[in-house]
Amino acid sequence: MAAKISGPLAFIGLLWVSGWRGALASGLHYGSGWRLAVGDRIMPNLDMNSSRNPILTRRLARGWSQAELAQRAGISRAAVSAIEAERLSPSVATALALAGVLECSVEELFGGGHKEPASTPGWAWMPRTETCRYWEAAVGGRHRLYPVEAAGLNPIPHDGLWQGGVLHENGPAPAENTLVMASCDPAAGLLAAEYARESGFRLLVFPRGGRVALELLRQKLVQVAGLHHATEAAPDRNAALAGGQLGAEGQLLRLARWETGIVLAGDDGTRSVESVARRQLCWAAREPGSAARECLDELLAGREFSGREVGGHGSVAEAVRSGWATAGVCVRFSAAEAGLNFLPVRTEILDLCFPAALQHDPRIQALVRLLRARSFRRLLSDLPGYDARETGEMLTFSTP
């Protein structure tokens, strides 16, 4: 029986459908503590009149500066400035935060709604700083701006600079020739380099765990999501997870099988996984919901552990190498790169997921051709822990 939703939840649903949609109601949290409100997006300039800007009216009535309102709402001052100038449409999380500190309803602040031209570039997620470099890509039927990050995976010149709420373009951006992927594969930089060399397109890689990557894909903020929850014991988990979260037909493009296990200091000669699991260690742990965290929880049989949350396989290895963690779970490749002891636990299946509607996109077709090329599969096989014998195979999934 269908449930009837009313009140604030109904309004949030209206925001979602009508163009004020936020990508994640609670934002995305990473190890460094910063938050991504991935639904925020830039809008064209409108008349700056306080009668049409209830946020400005309520802020001035309280005698608050933009910085003070930003601090109270947990967002940046630049975001407050852009929202008041109606150049930025907030995510649901941001809208709720502003309504809370201004002691009014979301409807009173944003009930009017504004449409924006499809050609207007908008942030895929807001920058962490008020001045940042960005890339531009055509994703989900519109141009989106991506704050520059993970320079090691993306040695690509930025397309412009955002400063003081203003975009400064370096020149025409190759947005239509850019493929955007969210994946925690630590060797994704090699894929991006070969993709650019072989196809003439460019690939932007944002390091995200599988479930977060799928959420970004569902919100049409990326075109490809990498996930590796499938194992030899449960080979269909990637398809089940993708179908359940996306709610649409899609494709899984096999990238590799790889080894996941426990990483220890290079001078730690332990050879038994069981003995490590019994020891009281300081763990470098991935975020809950990630495949590496699932593996750790299984090893410890759900017991609580001491340690610290980190954001990727390379970060796990670096935490152990630097000495502030004594153990972690990551892929063999990251352990080998850091010169650490590695105890294999299981083999996981790494797939690249994309919607079926994109299967004829030339950027996706170029990716498929690359993964099926013998030369790339040979390069991938040379990486520690990677098995490329199935690379390039395709599987269709649909909603359960």
Domain boundaries, the chain: 8-117
Give the closest residue to 308 by CA, choosing from 321, 323, 324, 332: 324
Burial of 309 (0-12, 13-18, 19+ CB in 10 A): middle
Look at strands 202-206 and 178-182 and give their pairing.
parallel
pLDDT in tens, the chain (400 residues): 333 334 444 434 434 333 333 333 333 333 333 333 333 333 333 333 334 578 887 787 777 888 889 888 888 888 888 888 877 777 767 887 888 888 777 777 776 544 444 457 889 998 988 899 999 999 988 899 999 999 888 999 999 999 988 889 998 899 999 999 999 999 999 999 999 999 999 999 999 999 999 999 999 999 999 999 999 999 999 999 999 988 878 999 999 999 999 999 988 888 899 999 999 899 999 998 899 999 999 999 989 999 989 989 999 999 999 999 999 999 999 999 999 999 999 999 999 999 999 999 999 999 999 999 999 999 999 999 999 999 999 999 876 6
Which has the closest alpha carbon to 183: 150, 220, 146? 150
- Listed in sequence order, the DSSP H helices in 182-331 are 188-199, 210-218, 237-246, 273-278, 291-299, 313-322
Picking from 296, 260, 213, 264, the residue whose alpha carbon sits closest to that of residue 386 is: 260
pTM of the full predicted structure? 0.71
Calculate the dihedral angle through the C-alpha atoms of 24, 29, 34, 35, rounding to the nearest 10 degrees.
10
What's the CA gap between 304 and 325, in Å, rounded? Answer: 16
Token couple for 43: 């809008």
HSE toward the beta carbon, residue 198, CA cutoff 13 A? 21
- How many residues in the chain? 400
**Residues in Cβ contact with 210 at an 8 Å cutoff, skipping those fewer than 6 apart:** 184, 225, 226, 227, 228, 229, 241, 290, 291
| CATH number of the 8-117 domain | 1.10.260.40
